[in-house]
Amino acid sequence: MIRAINLTKRFGKQLVFENLNFKINDGDFLSLIGPNGSGKTTLVKILMGLEKKSSGTLIVNQRQVIGYVPQFRNIDLDFPLSIEQFVKLNLKFTLSPNQRRQDNELIKNILERTKLTKIKDRPLGLASGGEKQKAYLAQALLNDPKVLILDESTASLDVEVKMQLMDLVQELNQKYNLTVIFITHDYELTKKYTKRALFFKNKTIEEVNVSDVSEDMFEMGG
């Protein structure tokens, strides 16, 4: 469970948002929507402990590991790692054979969950956009997160591939009760996949019913 009480953030004199009040429950599939610059990324950075709040209270269970899937970035064709090697980058180095065995099991399991097993040896640079994004997702799942943050992860993928990625995330949400926070500018995906929506408006946040989310909510000035 994550709870914000009067959460406020300023950068110097610039007020980004003030008095955010919300609660995110375990297993929620939630979208964070609002125009450019309204504070969505700043909020998740605060959630992940990468940015400091200015005032207010934020309660995040300490043991609640948060996984983060970044915005889609293309990767050079000659990137030297295979999909599996890339996913493994998030493992802690160990000399213990026992730990290595456990790590290998874990990797196998995660590649299966993200449907990457068949192509695990393919160089990441040669993978399709959707496959690359799944590799980021697999990396984020490595530390067994209870919360997964997707930061516009589907931007610049084509529609079908976006849906495939979101189907996979939905499956993880339903099977493992993974909490999903989806920062997005995508109206269709918000409607199709998310169960709750938090809308940044006038420097604060309000919960709107997903059925009431409209396209202009992604465009209006902050």
Ligand X SMILES: Nc1ncnc2c1ncn2[C@@H]1O[C@H](COP(=O)(O)OP(=O)(O)OP(=O)(O)O)[C@@H](O)[C@H]1O
Which positions touch ligand X (CB under 6 A)? 11, 16, 34, 36-42
Q: Which two tokens stand for residue 60?
A: 């995040």
CB closer to ligand X, 39 vs 67: 39
CA angle 146, 35, 220 (to 5 degrees): 145
Residues 6+ apart with CB under 8 A from 162: 154, 186, 189
H/E stretch holding 137 reads helix 129-141
**Minimum distance from CB of 69 to ligand X (Å)?**
15
CB closer to ligand X, 165 vs 198: 198
Q: Which two tokens stand for residue 135?
A: 């590799």
Distance CA 15, CA 168 (A): 37
**Minimum distance from CB of 31 to ligand X (Å)?**
12
Q: Which residue has the tokens 């393919």?
A: 122
CB closer to ligand X, 60 vs 168: 60
**Minimum distance from CB of 36 to ligand X (Å)?**
3
Residues 6+ apart with CB under 8 A from 14: none
- The backbone torsions φ and ψ at residue 157, rounded to the nearest 5 degrees and listed phi first, read -100, 155
User: Within 13 A of 165's CA, how many CA atoms are on the CB side?
Assistant: 27
**Minimum distance from CB of 66 to ligand X (Å)?**
17
CB closer to ligand X, 40 vs 146: 40
CB closer to ligand X, 45 vs 122: 45
